[in-house]
Structure 1
Amino acid sequence: MIITAATALAALGRTGLDVFDVANDVGQVAQSVGLWIVAAWMMANLLSGTYTSSHLGVGTIEYARVLSAAGLTAGAIGILSYLTKFNLSRGFFVLIFAIGVPAALLWRWYARRLVHRAHARGHLLTRVLISGSVAHVDEVAAVLERETWLGFRIVGALVPSSQPLRATPRGVRVVGTTTHTADSVLAEKADMVVFTEGAFPSAVDFRRIAWDLEGHHVQMAVVPSLSDISTGRIAMRPVGGLPLVHVGQPQSLGASRGLKRAFDLLGATALLLLAAPVMLVFAVATKLQDGGPVLFRQTRVGRDGELFECLKFRSMVVDAEAQLPGITHLNQNSDGVLFKVARDPRVTRVGAVMRRLSIDELPQLVNVVNGDMSLVGPRPALPAEVRRYVPDVQRRLHVRPGVTGLWQVSGRSDLSWEDTVRLDLYYVDNWSLVQDLSILARTVHAVVRARGAY
C-alpha cells in the first residue's frame, strides 16, 4: 500500500517539481510503468527478506533490508531504462524513492511500536519452552522476562533427567526432560523451543529433535555459549557442514578514536546552541530558589581512570553532601555500589523538574566539548565507586563516560548494579556509530517517559 501510494504521489508531485525540465507525459508514463515499479519493488522486498518474521520487530536488520530492497529496485529501474532507452521522468523516479523509502521506514517503526505495546499488554505472545540445564534455563528466562517487549511467554522448562525438579530456582515450571523434547513441546502447545547448554548431548540428538518437530510449525532457537556480543561482530561461515561462528574483536579502541570524537564535538556544540534558552531559564530558576550556586561540580572518573570535574545543574539543597550520612538508610540499592533514593529529601522543587526531564545533565555537554565525556557512553562513576570495582568492571573505564547511554535508555535508576554493568560492558565491546545514533534517538523517548529518573 505504501509503495503504491508513493508511486501515485510521485506522479502527482512531478508536475510541480521545477528542478527538472517540464514533462507533460508524466501521467502517461506513470500509468504505463507504475504498476511494474510497484511489482518490482515488492519482489525486491521478498528477495531481501523484509517480510521474514524472524527479523520483524527486533534489531536494525529489518530497516536495513527495507533500504536494501529500495536500492535494488532503484538500480534495476535505472539499468533497464538505460538499456531500453525508455524515457522515464527523472523527477518521477526521484520522488518515488524520496517519498516511498522514508514512508516505509516510518511505517515499520510505527508497526513495531504497536506490536511491542501489544506484547506489554499480554497480546500476540509466543509460547516458549526452554530446554537445557537448570542454571542455563534460568539465565535465558531472566533475559526473556526482563525484555517483555519481545513478546515471549515462558510456559515451562525441559531439564536433563539427572536434575529432577518441579521448578527451577527462578520459578520456571519443569514440564519434562530433554530426552523427550518433541513430546513436551507438542503437549504444551509451544510456539518456540529455545535450546541452551545441556539441551542435547550431541549434534545428532539435535538433528533428531528437528526431525520430530518437522511439520508442526514450531520455531527452534539455539542460545550459543556467547553472550553480550552484537550481531555486527558475528559471522556464520559453514565449513564442511560445520557451522563456525566467527567473532570480531571488541570495539573499545574504536570508541576512543577520531570518528567518535568528531561526532561528539559537532553534536555537543549543536545541542548546546539548541538547549541554551532552556538552560538559561533553569539556571535563573535555580538561582532564585535559594540563592545558591547554579552548577554542581563533582569529581568523576573518566577514560583510563583520569579524574575530571563533571558539571550538572544543582538539583539538591546547597549542603546535600553534608546531609548524605544522615540518609544512607534510605538507599534502595542492595548491591552497595550505587546510592539510589527514589524520593531523596535533598532534591529541590526546581531540581525535581530538572531531574524528571534530565535537564540537570545538560551542562555535561560542556564536558563533551572539552573532551572529558562523550555524548554516548557508560555512566560517569564516582571515585569511591571505582575503588570497589572488580577487574571485569574496570573495562567500563576504557572509553569516555557518556551524557547518555544504554543504561539510561534501559531504565536508568530502576536498573540493578548488575544490569548497569552488563549494559555498559556491552556498549564498550560492541561500539558502533550506528548504535550511538540509535541510543541518542531512544534517549528522547526515555526522557519523555521519565522512567527511573530520580
Structure 2
Amino acid sequence: MPAESDGTQAQPSTGPVRILDPSGPEVIPGETPSVPESPIKPRDDWRSAYVWSMRLVDAVAIIATLLLAQLGRFGADGSRGGGDLEWHGMTVSYWFVGLVLGITWWAWLDLRGARAIRLIGYGVEESREVSTATLIFYSAIAIISFALSLPFARGYVMIALPLGLVFLVLGRWGLRTSLLFRRRRNRSAMSRTMVVGRQRGTLETVQSLQDHVEAGLAPVVAYYPKGKQPIPAKLKDIEIRNTLPVGERPTVAGILEAAHRNRVQALVLTNNSPLSSAEIRHLSWYLADARIRLIMNTGLTDIAGPRIHTQHLAGLPFIHVSTPHLSRSRRIIKRGMDILGSMFALLVLSPVMIAVAAMIKAHDRGPVFFGQERVGLDGSRFKMLKFRSMYTDAEERKAALLAANESQGDVLFKMKDDPRVTKPGKVLRRYSLDELPQFVNVLKGEMSLVGPRPPLESEVDKYEDYVHRRLRVKPGITGLWQVSGRSDLDWDQSVRLDLYYVENWSVLEDTLILLRTVKAVFAPSGAY
C-alpha cells in the first residue's frame, strides 16, 4: 500500500538500473540514522503541478455544470420561475446558491481525497473516487434540505448531478490521457524509484515497472542481497549490476543513504523483503520525513482491487481477500446483459451478416457457416457457430501443418499465414467478422458476450489442473485476452488473463471489455 506524502520529484534517469551497496550500521529501535536533506527542490515536483491541474479542471467542470443547471432550470433571466430560494422570510438568488455550492463542491473533492497523489494515472479508481465524492455531496444537500425544510429546486439538482459527474470524469480523463501519452512517449512525469527485496522478487518487480510505464514508477536503483541462484533468462535483459556479496543483508541506514544519493522519490518494497517488521516500520518513518513515497508489494497478483480489504485484527494490519463467487443475482444480471446485448447486435448487424454470407457463398459456393464442437460452462459441449473463413477441407489439412504451429505451450494451434484461410476469410478474421454468428450462441445461453475463449476438447485434454478454472464461467465472444493482444499473446499470457477474469468478474469489467473490443477489432495487429 502506498504511503502518501507530498514528495519532491524530478525526471527519472533513462540510464540503466544500478545496484548499490551502501555501507552503514543497522538501525537500532529508537535511534534515528542521519538522513540527508533531499536534493530535489519542490519547484521540480511534477506531481504537485498535476494536482493543481486537477483542481483547475475540476473548477472548470463545476462552473460549467452549475451554469448549465441555472440556465436549464430557470433561464438566463429567471423567466421560468423560481429563480430565488425562499426560506423563513429570506430570499436568496440561485446565482448566489450556485456560487456557494460550487466552492463547497470543489473544496469537498480535496477533503474527500479525490485529488490524492495515489490516484494519478489510475482511471477506474480516480473516476470512482470523484463519483463517490460527488454523490455524497449531493446526498448531503438532500439531507440538509429535508432537515431544514429548504424548498430546494429539484430540477436544478437533477440537471447538476449527472452533468457534474460527466464533466468531472471527462475532465480527469483528458488530463490522464495527456499524462499517459507523455509517459509512453518519452518517460517523463515519472517518479525515480528504488526497489528493495530479495534477488528474484526485486528483478521481477523492476521488469514489471519497466514494462508498464503507465504506473509512473521509473526504477533507477535496485537493492537486494545477491542470491546463489543465477538470474532467470527472461530477466537477463534488465540492465542491473549487482555488487552486494552473497548473503549480505540490506540495512535501513544503507537503504536511506542509497535512496538520497540517487535522488529517489518512491521506494518499492517487494513482498519477499529481507527486512523485519520493526525495520519496515522505522524505514517508513524516515521515508515519510524525507518525503519519499513507500509502496509495498503484497505479492497478491491477478486479484482485482475490490476483492482486497485491509483490516486491523489483534492490533495487527491484515489484508483480507474476498472469495470469488458468482452469486445467483450476479448470474441473472450477466444473463440479462447477454440476452439484451445479443438481440441488439443481431438486429443492428443483420445487414453486415447478410453481406458477409453473400461474399462467402460467391467465393467458392461452399457452406456459409462453420459449426465446431467446443467445451463450455463446467465442461458442457455445444456447437459454436462462425462464418466460414477457411476452405472446406481445412480440418483434413490441419495434421500436415502441425509442425508449423507458432503457439507456445502446444495447446493452441496458430499460424499467421495459414494456407487454409480463404481470401475473404482473411478480411473476416482481420475485423473479427467471422465471430458474428456467435451472438446466436449467446442468445441460446451456450456462450456469453464476455468470457474466456471457448476451447476445443483436444485443447482441454492438454490443460493443467489449474487451467480448468477457465470453464467455471461461460465462454465469451470477447474477453480479456482478445482486448489485450489477441493472437499475439502466448498461451501462458492468455490463461493468466482468462483466470483473472474468472476470479474477478463484475458488471463494470464486462462493460469495459466490450468497449475495448471495439478498439481491438480495428487494431492492426493480433488478428489472424
TM-score computed with the length of structure 1 as normaliser: 0.91
Match of 1:33 in 2: 97
Aligned residue-pair number: 452
Match of 1:453 in 2: 527
SS of 2:361's equivalent in the other structure is helix
Matched to 1:131, the amino acid is V
SS of 1:118's equivalent in the other structure is helix
Match of 2:184 in 1: 120
In structure 1, C-alpha distance between the alignment counterparts of 2:301 and 2:189, rounded to whole Å: 27
| Structure 2 counterparts to residues 257-296 of structure 1, below 5 A | 257-296=331-370
Match of 1:77 in 2: 141
In structure 1, C-alpha distance between the alignment counterparts of 2:74 and 2:367, rounded to whole Å: 60
In structure 2, C-alpha distance between the alignment counterparts of 1:309 and 1:151, rounded to whole Å: 46
Q: 1:24 to 1:288 in 2, by over 3 A?
A: same
Aligned equivalent of 2:113, options 24, 46, 49: 49
Note the aligned Cα RMSD (angstroms): 2.7
Aligned equivalent of 1:195, options 250, 255, 269: 269
In structure 2, C-alpha distance between the alignment counterparts of 1:295 and 1:94, rounded to whole Å: 50
Match of 1:2 in 2: 61
| Structure 2 counterparts to residues 34-433 of structure 1, below 5 A | 34-58=98-122, 60-121=124-185, 122-160=187-225, 169=236, 171-174=238-241, 178-179=250-251, 180-251=254-325, 257-433=331-507
In structure 2, C-alpha distance between the alignment counterparts of 1:144 and 1:298, rounded to whole Å: 41
In structure 2, C-alpha distance between the alignment counterparts of 1:189 and 1:163, rounded to whole Å: 30
Task: Report if the CA contact (8 A) 2:127-2:169 is conserved.
Answer: yes
1:35 is displaced (CA, Å) by 1.3
Which digits, 9 at most, give the CA deviation of each residue in 1:125-158, with x for residues without a partner?
3333222122212332343344343333332421
1:301 is displaced (CA, Å) by 1.0
SS of 1:379's equivalent in the other structure is coil
In structure 2, C-alpha distance between the alignment counterparts of 1:282 and 1:111, rounded to whole Å: 41
In structure 1, C-alpha distance between the alignment counterparts of 2:222 and 2:153, rounded to whole Å: 60
In structure 2, C-alpha distance between the alignment counterparts of 1:57 and 1:351, rounded to whole Å: 40
Which digits, 9 at most, give the CA deviation of each residue in 1:326-347, with x for residues without a partner?
4334432232222222233333
Task: Report if the CA contact (8 A) 1:159-1:176 is conserved.
Answer: no
Task: Report if the CA contact (8 A) 2:121-2:214 is conserved.
Answer: no
Which digits, 9 at most, give the CA deviation of each residue in 1:229-286, with x for residues without a partner?
1122111011244111111112256698333222222222222212212211211112
Q: 1:164 to 1:418 in 2, by over 3 A?
A: closer
Q: Which 10-residue stretch deviates more, 235-244 or 180-189?
A: 180-189
1:371 is displaced (CA, Å) by 1.3
- Percent identical among aligned pairs is 37
1:361 is displaced (CA, Å) by 1.0
Task: Report if the CA contact (8 A) 1:378-1:406 is conserved.
Answer: yes
Q: 1:283 to 1:26 in 2, by over 3 A?
A: farther
Task: Report if the CA contact (8 A) 1:197-1:223 is conserved.
Answer: yes
Aligned equivalent of 1:23, options 69, 81, 86: 81
Listed as ranges, the gaps of 5+ residues in structure 2 are: 1-59, 86-91, 245-249
Q: Which 10-residue stretch deviates more, 109-118 or 225-234?
A: 109-118
Q: Which 10-residue stretch deviates more, 392-401 or 81-90?
A: 81-90
Match of 2:35 in 1: none
Q: Which 10-residue stretch deviates more, 82-91 or 272-281?
A: 82-91
Task: Report if the CA contact (8 A) 1:256-1:400 is conserved.
Answer: no
1:113 is displaced (CA, Å) by 2.6
Task: Report if the CA contact (8 A) 1:311-1:364 is conserved.
Answer: yes
Larger radius of gyration: 2
SS of 1:221's equivalent in the other structure is strand
| Structure 2 counterparts to residues 432-451 of structure 1, below 5 A | 432-451=506-525
Task: Report if the CA contact (8 A) 2:195-2:222 is conserved.
Answer: yes
Q: Which 10-residue stretch deviates more, 110-119 or 2-11?
A: 110-119
Listed as ranges, the gaps of 5+ residues in structure 1 are: none
Matched to 2:192, the amino acid is R
Matched to 2:285, the amino acid is W
Q: Which 10-residue stretch deviates more, 208-217 or 159-168?
A: 159-168
Relative contact order higher in (CA < 8 Å, ≥ 6 apart): 2
Matched to 1:373, the amino acid is M
Q: 1:26 to 1:320 in 2, by over 3 A?
A: farther
In structure 2, C-alpha distance between the alignment counterparts of 1:103 and 1:272, rounded to whole Å: 33
Q: 1:236 to 1:332 in 2, by over 3 A?
A: same
Matched to 1:387, the amino acid is D
TM-score computed with the length of structure 2 as normaliser: 0.79
SS of 1:453's equivalent in the other structure is coil
Q: 1:107 to 1:239 in 2, by over 3 A?
A: same
Matched to 2:83, the amino acid is D
Matched to 1:173, the amino acid is I
SS of 2:323's equivalent in the other structure is coil
Matched to 2:439, the amino acid is L
1:201 is displaced (CA, Å) by 3.1
1:102 is displaced (CA, Å) by 1.2
Task: Report if the CA contact (8 A) 1:299-1:309 is conserved.
Answer: yes
In structure 1, C-alpha distance between the alignment counterparts of 2:178 and 2:352, rounded to whole Å: 32
Which digits, 9 at most, give the CA deviation of each residue in 1:295-341, with x for residues without a partner?
12111111111221111111222322233234334432232222222
Matched to 2:170, the amino acid is L
Task: Report if the CA contact (8 A) 1:11-1:26 is conserved.
Answer: no
1:447 is displaced (CA, Å) by 1.9
Q: Which 10-residue stretch deviates more, 24-33 or 65-74?
A: 24-33
Q: Which 10-residue stretch deviates more, 261-270 or 324-333?
A: 324-333
In structure 2, C-alpha distance between the alignment counterparts of 1:331 and 1:288, rounded to whole Å: 30
Matched to 1:12, the amino acid is L
In structure 1, C-alpha distance between the alignment counterparts of 2:84 and 2:418, rounded to whole Å: 66
In structure 1, C-alpha distance between the alignment counterparts of 2:448 and 2:383, rounded to whole Å: 14
Q: 1:300 to 1:162 in 2, by over 3 A?
A: closer
In structure 2, C-alpha distance between the alignment counterparts of 1:209 and 1:419, rounded to whole Å: 36
1:85 is displaced (CA, Å) by 4.6
SS of 1:297's equivalent in the other structure is strand
Task: Report if the CA contact (8 A) 2:193-2:267 is conserved.
Answer: yes
Task: Report if the CA contact (8 A) 2:183-2:216 is conserved.
Answer: yes
